[in-house]
Amino acid sequence: MKIILVINFVIIFCSITAFSQRSINLRRDITSEVAAEYDEYIKKYAPADSAFNVLIAWANRLYLQRRAAVSIYLVEYYKPLFPDKDSLLLNEVHRLEQVMIAQSAMPDIIPLYSNYIKNRAPSNDAFFAVQRIADYYIQRQLWDSAEFVYDTYKPLFPNYKHIFESTIGLFKAKLEGLKVENLGNMINTPGSEWDPTPTPDGRYLYFSADHRRGGNGNSDIWVSEKIDGVWQKSVNIGKPINGIRDETVDNVSVDGNTLLISGNFDGSYGEFDIYLAEKDSNGWGDIYHLPAPVNTEYHDESGCLSPDGKALIFSSDRPGGIGPHVPMNSRFYGGGIMGNMDLYVSLETDNGWSEPINLGPTINTPYAERAVYLHPDGKTLYFSSNGHYGFGRLDVYKTVRLNDTSWTDWSAPVNLGKEINTVNDDWGYVVDLEGEFAYFSKENDIDGFGGWDLYSISLPESAKPQPLAVIRGRVIDSTGKPIACNIVWEDLSTGNKVGHLKSDPRDGFYFITLPLGMNYGYYAERFGYYPTSNSVDLRQFKNDTTIYKDILMTSIRDLQERGVNIRINNIFFDFDKSVLKEESLPELKRLLDFANKVKNFKIIIEGHTDSEGTNDHNKILSLKRAEAVANYLTKNGIDNSRIITEGYGSERPYAPNDTAENKSLNRRVEVRLVK
């Protein structure tokens, strides 16, 4: 404690200290003349406290000049002169070593780092010292020299063989000429912008910024809209989200209707907690503090919702992770201050969010994993870590979820390479829907506007996500008015619900992303409306695809008062058959639920076909299909007297029978109500 008090006194006050022997100025930069004066003083007055204090002040001054390795050399060189302070000096050496492995080695002090490595290998700290030697060459893109550093020390670290070889592979990799672009002055200012958060449809970009005109003086959340491929002037999203607090955005849901935010606000459990805000017809609602067990007394951040809305991934330094419990902001652990943060997932249940699950040792290390982003493909995860192979400090990695039933089964993380990662902390990369480029922030670049700016960078093939399908459109009523509703999708092979999102409450737009390889049904539901459905078969798709489908919702009132027909889309039959396929079951259950809600009405079930085949055959087939639906209802409690079945064959086409797509529209079952 005594040594710490001495050091703090020198650091904070930088005073001219007077000793009983004579006065000496300890606030000067270290030159050869100053060093000679300090050396003379220490040798003359040791082991007096005054000489000891000069040594500590001298060492401290050097480490503040990012030369902690020299500080260690000094302390060890003069330590024999202070036998009664041996334990204090050993503690000081240990502290300075932790500082040293956080400071890049300049060429003139590399020998000091090299001696430390040879004496301490194969310890983790010795490995961090190897990274600090390589920093100088990586920063200058001297890849052969960086490779030489790793080759030189590789034999000293047999347990780090994979890390050494993988990092050397990064040095050897060919440059791909990735294109980096500043997002321009509609977004960037002389202040700082960070946390780029695009909506998956590419329409909006949310981000954090501080001290901007139109803001609240602290960190606020801003948004820019892209129109005709051009980002418009960003605006403050305003109250009730922004205020006198420091607000920073983490992620946005796939449907664009939920923002995830981190901060230390009133009511937070710990140093940092996760919040969310949802969009309503008036804009954004107030922030909502996620309860335990998501938030804890520890540091919880970087919330990210899965595309299906059923999982929340985040970063936390809570105990019980991979490796020792080291809180965020623990100085110099692992060569930085990030502590040991791991990635977790909490699952949606009927009772709220579940106890978080650690994503496991494939992703998490005894060091820091942060800035998580799950791509809308639902499988590809991007995150930053200082515990995997790379260029030192935080690098950005990609991993892929290998099992849809497990959150701990992941592919080995892949470093995104030397055109994306640097020797500094790289984090906050968010990949666009198609995987063509990522958004990120960078400080004081030559083409910047000041502080941190937002950029985009094209992605190499190895960094791109899985192919996916986008289903998008508007949800409207019979008058064309937009409707806010829940949209649920299900696996038609099992009937299981696999996700849910919302349409935009202001304009009715919806946006769903689905993995390829499955046959999906989806439906829109809102109180007072029949749950309108449709399906999309993605089993044969191999590449990204976008499908536009507007959803027309029919109100129960229109069904009851106007007698309008509604199409029951997700009822399936084999060709020329009238036996209901198993995939029809979820739709039939919704129809059954609807029939139980309108008990004062009879239900007319109509069968229709396309123009293939004779009219007589089609009428019989369409009637049998209507009867198959009716039989399901009556077997499940609907009185037979309430059911009327009709078969129209091809007499009432929905569309001309001129294309395969139109013919599929004409093969349908419809229902209507009558008193």
Q: What is the pLDDT of residue 445?
A: 74
pLDDT at 47 over 60: yes
* Cα 534 from Cα 663, distance rounded (Å): 16
Q: Average of pLDDT values for 89-116?
A: 93
Q: Which of 276-290, 420-434, 510-524, 660-674 has the lowest mean pLDDT?
A: 660-674
pLDDT digit string, tens, across residues 321-346: 999 999 999 888 888 889 999 999 99
Q: What is the pLDDT of residue 22?
A: 62
Q: What is the pLDDT of residue 21?
A: 53
Q: What is the pLDDT of residue 317?
A: 97
> What is this structure's pTM?
0.88
Neighbours of 125 (CB within 10 A): 18
Percent of the chain with pLDDT over 70: 96
Q: What is the pLDDT of residue 263?
A: 87
Q: What is the pLDDT of residue 562?
A: 87
pLDDT at 14 over 70: no
Most confident range (mean pLDDT) of 177-186, 565-574, 649-658 is 177-186
Average predicted confidence (pLDDT) for the chain = 91
Kindly list the domain boundaries of the chain, sorted by start residue: 2-172, 180-463, 467-553, 565-675
* Cα 32 from Cα 51, distance rounded (Å): 18
In sequence order, what are the residues at sequence separation of 6 or more whose Cβ sits closer than 8 angstroms to the Cβ of residue 562? none
Q: What is the pLDDT of residue 369?
A: 98
Output the CA angle 570-576-582, nearest 5 degrees: 40
Amino acid at 264: N
* Cα 578 from Cα 300, distance rounded (Å): 55
Enter the tokens of residue 317.
Answer: 């330094």
Q: Does domain 565-675 have CATH number 3.30.1330.60?
A: yes
Q: What is the pLDDT of residue 5?
A: 32
pLDDT at 10 over 60: no
Looking at the chain, how many residues does it have? 675
Q: Average of pLDDT values for 298-303?
A: 96
pLDDT digit string, tens, across residues 21-46: 567 888 888 889 999 999 999 999 99
Which candidate, 100, 95, 125, 124, places its Cα nearest to that of 112? Answer: 100
Enter the tokens of residue 634.
Answer: 């009556």
Q: Which fold is adopted by the domain 467-553?
A: Immunoglobulin-like (2.60.40)
- Bridge partners, residue 470, by sequence: 513, 546
Enter the tokens of residue 5.
Answer: 């008090």
| DSSP summary character for residue 233 | P
pLDDT band at 9, cuts 50/70/90?
Answer: very low
Helix (H) or strand (E) holding 43: helix 32-45
Q: CB–CB of 587/521 below 8 Å? A: yes
Q: What is the pLDDT of residue 448?
A: 86
pLDDT at 94 over 80: yes
pLDDT at 216 over 80: no
pLDDT at 655 over 60: yes
pLDDT digit string, tens, across residues 240-281: 999 888 889 999 999 999 999 998 888 889 889 999 999 988
DSSP, residue by residue, 517-565:
SSEEEEEEE-TTB--EEEEEE-TT--S-EEEE--EE--BHHHHHHT---
- Bridge partners, residue 374, by sequence: 381
DSSP, residue by residue, 49-83:
HHHHHHHHHHHHHHHHTT-HHHHHHHHHHHGGG-G
CATH architecture of 180-463: 6 Propeller (2.120)
Distance of CA 495 to the CA centre of its chain: 29
* Cα 349 from Cα 195, distance rounded (Å): 29
For residues 66 and 325, the model is more confident at: 325
Q: Average of pLDDT values for 345-367?
A: 97
Q: What is the pLDDT of residue 335?
A: 82
pLDDT at 667 over 90: no
For residues 215 and 622, the model is more confident at: 622
